[in-house]
Structure 1
Amino acid sequence: MTDTTLPMPQLPPLRRNSGFRNFWLSRAVSGLGSAVTTVALPVLVFQQSRSPLLVSLVAAAGTLPYLAFGLLAGAVADRVDRRTLMIVTDCLSALCLGSLPLAQALHALTVGHVVVVAFVSSTLSLFFDAGGYGFVPALVGKDRLPDANSALYGAETVVRIIGNGVAGVLIALVHPVGTLTLDAVSFAGSALFLRAVANGPSRVVSSGPRTSFLRAVANALSRAASSGRRTAFRRTAANAPAHATTNTPAPSSVPRPGFRESVREGLRFLAGHPTLRVMTVVGTLQSFSGGAIVGQLVVFADRVLGIHGSDGRIGLLYMAWSAGGIGGSLLLPRLRRRYDAFPLLQLVLPVGALLGLVVVLSADWRIALVALAAWGTAYLVVLVNTMTYSQEVTPAELQGRVNTTRRMLSSGLGVPLGALAASAVTLSAGIRAGMATAVASITLAAIVVWVVRLRGLPGTAGGA
């Protein structure tokens, strides 16, 4: 019998997709500004207040919006034109960050103003991300998601490394407030690149007529306040076709579910999809480990590796962790062409746990440096693989709700809990034990995927 299997068609490079190219540029420009702000904003707060508590509050403002508004942002993103949502949030972010240098020029800048800006800008970024979860699959198609997400996360890693370095130079040359002007300009530039993306791919919305962004938010707040409201329209998200990449809006005569019901739709799909449910648990454990690593790296460097005070090698350790993300972004598309999403977790998570153990047991900073870079590579492969799988199996009209809920659990809960748990263990049992909480979390994630696979959960088979 002859083999009649047809070869897979050669897909054109993503750089030839003008829509994705402009979206990638918008993310790169905005990411550079945000990387600068990540350094400059805490410095500004400390200069204004000399209070470590307020500095911690600004850091917490980056994750609190996921807990406070995660479900709302997902529901809004699935009801409005996603491209418009992202452009509006970029413009509002530019105004928000731009208010700081303006207040400084008017001699009216306060610590409270800075804290509010930190929280509001993080909230706007959450709404942007909620729109982007469904926007990318519509731009490139689900078969190109591994390449697209790797390109986006790789660019984010590169500009974060560059931006952190640029921030140090700018803070030395100009006041931290002046440094934040760069982020405001970057948001405006991001909005311009998004305007260059054609309208078509962004119009992937839930059934019913589209709603303006501001009206959708107002409706959400009003419906959330009324507890007795229910809609007669019910549909089961799990029955939606997982392969859909576009969705034609239904006629306006079909009633649109209320925001409460919209949120429940996303939660039902996530809870009802066995593989995605497990991968959400794995993603949260992975984020827990990331919070533990970043939260204790300075202490680990000081007490174990002999890197004290302003020793420049501490910067190398952080760069190694971030640079590992570049390796992961390059590696993932190749791995996804060889392995399905779940078997890939079975392979990479144990490797990540072993690399983490090497870091914890290291006494030489050079060994720790190499192991951290390799660990960062495994970390990003798991992160992007999980996100890609979620976008592949989630119906187009549920992308915002499902993926924002996942991000709420990982970034909103996993990262801060990991940082707090690692610091508590360090105080009671020492820094190696504190860093080992990250290894324990990844090991637990590896055990979960192997147990689930051995028990034969649907959707976990596959391989090379």
Structure 2
Amino acid sequence: MTSTSPQRPPGAPVPDGTPAPGTDKEICDSEPKDPPIPLRRLPGFRWFWMSRAASGLGSAVTAVALPVLTFQETRSPLMVSLVAAAGTLPYVVFGLIAGAVADRTDRRRLMIATDWLNAACLASVPLAAALGVLTGGHLVAVALASAALGLFFDAGVYGFVPDIVGKDNLAGANSALYGAETVVRIAGNALAGGLILLFQPARTLALDALSFAVSALLIKAVARTAQRPGAPAGHRPAFGESVREGLRFLLRHPTLRVMALVGTLQSFSGGAIVGQLAVFADRVLGVHGSDGRIGLLYTAWSAGGIGGSVLLPRLRRRFAAFPLLLGVLPVGAVLGLVLVRTSDWRIALLALAAWGSAYLVVLVNTMTYSQEVTPAELQGRVNTTRRMLSSGLGVPLGALVAGTLTVRVGVQAGMSTAVVAIALAAAVVWGVQVRRWAGTRTRT
């Protein structure tokens, strides 16, 4: 049987949700937003924000305690490296699978289940330590399992947040979530040292287990939203086709695929900066490991993210997502160049804070745009694929390339890879914009 469809007007979306080829809508993305509903008026978001803050605080403590515990138990730098690598490996291995699972299940239930499983996973560490059976292999397995569960949780978040706040409120909601995450990460890292001394590293992980349990209860308190949109269970495509459907949407959407590339390059720069900052501080700024100023440098980078979370909602009310990148990416490249070329720790401190703000504006802007243009039934697949490219590929590759150049050439060369990555991202978006302008003039 054949069917006919009505004539699609110029610029209308094609069936897979991408803009029609040959129209300004290919790059001219969502318009600047009207003032959104205050998030405090959305009770579901309040519960969810608290769940993220609670879980983030526990995870920030574990980020310090788990490597310390691993070295304490094994005395092996290799085992510590394996624990660190386990945090990003799931994005590469399970990224596409997690997105498909989130789009085929109740996202709220998925997040609650993964929180409870993560609580049990982390609670196994103090239990094993108390029984005298804790091993390095156990710690690596816990790091890997916890990161994998977190990935499945995040896959649910991408569609859950638009459900509870609406797409018009996404910029403010994502900024509030990232801002809270940054604040609790700074607080958790600062608390970790004292907690390790007070309770020992293994027992400290019980706090993270408790934070996941609290998060599960808070998410359960979020009132159920409308049923997740999508095809009825009997009409779902096969799992492999479901994965390919998400990939096709990302690759065929002209603006979204550019945004994905920009996000990957931006994450590459972040991996390079964080991976080499201690070496740069020691060899160029004269700030050594025992110097308290090293903590200020790391805090400046994180605190800059708080500034970015405050700026983004205001910027998105004035600029659409793609034009915003045209200004912020070159600014980030200039700030990175200032950092790499200075030998004054005070200038480096200011440059790191400002760069951290620009860095977060770009990442949250790209994520928000992706949630805005992706159909509800594809949120998990499209956004975990994008996250797989940035967190699973960009961050570790940036750290590896910068580290290799630092060893072979010098730390300033290693840090410069971050500047090159952002400059390349700026060149990409400006090249696309110039081509769009040229196409518009040709058609007129």
Normalising by structure 2, what TM-score? 0.90
The correspondence of residues 76-155 of structure 1 with structure 2, limited to 5 A, is 76-155=101-180
Q: CA offset at residue 12 of structure 1?
A: 3.3
The reply on whether 1:204 has 2:218 as its aligned counterpart is: no
Q: Is the 8 A contact 1:78 1:205 kept in 2?
A: no
How much is the aligned-residue C-alpha RMSD, in angstroms?
1.6
Q: Give the match's secondary structure for 1:94.
A: helix
Residues 17-50 of structure 1: per-residue CA shift (max 9 Å, x gap): 1101101000000000000011111111111111
What is the percentage of aligned positions where both structures have the same residue?
A: 73
The correspondence of residues 9-408 of structure 1 with structure 2, limited to 5 A, is 11-201=36-226, 203-209=227-233, 252=234, 255-408=235-388
Instruction: Determine which structure has the larger helix proportion and give its number.
Output: 2
Hey, what's the Cα distance between the residues in 2 that align with 1:145 and 1:433?
38
Hey, what's the Cα distance between the residues in 1 that align with 2:243 and 2:184?
34
Residues 141-184 of structure 1: per-residue CA shift (max 9 Å, x gap): 10100000000000000000000001111112121011111000
Q: 1:427 aligns to what?
A: 407
Q: Is the 8 A contact 2:34 2:317 kept in 1?
A: no
Aligned in 2, Cα 1:58/1:205: closer, same or farther, shift over 3 Å?
farther
Hey, what's the Cα distance between the residues in 1 that align with 2:355 and 2:205?
32
Q: Is the 8 A contact 1:453 1:460 kept in 2?
A: no
Q: CA offset at residue 10 of structure 1?
A: 5.5
Hey, what's the Cα distance between the residues in 1 that align with 2:238 and 2:289?
54
Q: CA offset at residue 309 of structure 1?
A: 2.5
* Residue correspondences, number: 409
Further displaced range: 114-123 or 307-316:
307-316
Hey, what's the Cα distance between the residues in 1 that align with 2:440 and 2:278?
38
Hey, what's the Cα distance between the residues in 2 that align with 1:358 and 1:170?
37
Aligned in 2, Cα 1:114/1:459: closer, same or farther, shift over 3 Å?
farther
Q: Give the match's secondary structure for 1:78.
A: helix
Hey, what's the Cα distance between the residues in 1 that align with 2:343 and 2:123?
45
Q: Is the 8 A contact 1:79 1:205 kept in 2?
A: no
The reply on whether 1:440 has 2:407 as its aligned counterpart is: no
Q: CA offset at residue 15 of structure 1?
A: 1.1
Hey, what's the Cα distance between the residues in 1 that align with 2:37 and 2:373?
23
Q: 1:212 aligns to what?
A: none
| One-letter amino acid of the structure 2 residue matched with residue 417 of structure 1 | L
| One-letter amino acid of the structure 2 residue matched with residue 307 of structure 1 | V
Q: CA offset at residue 208 of structure 1?
A: 1.7
Hey, what's the Cα distance between the residues in 1 that align with 2:439 and 2:262?
15
Q: 1:240 aligns to what?
A: none
Hey, what's the Cα distance between the residues in 1 that align with 2:58 and 2:83?
17
| One-letter amino acid of the structure 2 residue matched with residue 23 of structure 1 | F
Segments of structure 2 that go 5 or more residues without pairing to the other structure are 1-32
Q: 2:10 aligns to what?
A: none
Q: Is the 8 A contact 1:342 1:460 kept in 2?
A: no
Q: Is the 8 A contact 1:275 1:460 kept in 2?
A: no
Residues 246-271 of structure 1: per-residue CA shift (max 9 Å, x gap): xxxxxx4xx21011000000000000
Hey, what's the Cα distance between the residues in 2 that align with 1:458 and 1:319?
43
| One-letter amino acid of the structure 1 residue matched with residue 204 of structure 2 | T
Aligned in 2, Cα 1:432/1:257: closer, same or farther, shift over 3 Å?
same
Hey, what's the Cα distance between the residues in 2 that align with 1:9 and 1:185?
39
Residues 295-342 of structure 1: per-residue CA shift (max 9 Å, x gap): 000000000010113211111100000000000000000000011101
| One-letter amino acid of the structure 2 residue matched with residue 316 of structure 1 | L
Q: Give the match's secondary structure for 1:363.
A: coil
Q: Is the 8 A contact 1:80 1:205 kept in 2?
A: no
Residues 428-459 of structure 1: per-residue CA shift (max 9 Å, x gap): 11111110000000000000000011011899
Q: CA offset at residue 205 of structure 1?
A: 4.2
Residues 404-440 of structure 1: per-residue CA shift (max 9 Å, x gap): 0000000000000000000111111111111000000
Q: Is the 8 A contact 2:271 2:397 kept in 1?
A: yes
Hey, what's the Cα distance between the residues in 1 that align with 2:404 and 2:374?
37
Q: Give the match's secondary structure for 2:343.
A: coil
Hey, what's the Cα distance between the residues in 2 that align with 1:195 and 1:178?
27
Aligned in 2, Cα 1:459/1:124: closer, same or farther, shift over 3 Å?
farther
Q: Is the 8 A contact 2:247 2:382 kept in 1?
A: yes
Q: Is the 8 A contact 1:161 1:322 kept in 2?
A: yes
| One-letter amino acid of the structure 2 residue matched with residue 270 of structure 1 | L
Hey, what's the Cα distance between the residues in 1 that align with 2:291 and 2:209?
32
Hey, what's the Cα distance between the residues in 1 that align with 2:375 and 2:438?
18
Further displaced range: 450-459 or 357-366:
450-459
Q: Is the 8 A contact 1:275 1:459 kept in 2?
A: no
Hey, what's the Cα distance between the residues in 2 that align with 1:208 and 1:114?
41
Aligned in 2, Cα 1:349/1:112: closer, same or farther, shift over 3 Å?
same
Residues 239-292 of structure 1: per-residue CA shift (max 9 Å, x gap): xxxxxxxxxxxxx4xx21011000000000000000000010000000000000
Q: Is the 8 A contact 1:350 1:446 kept in 2?
A: yes
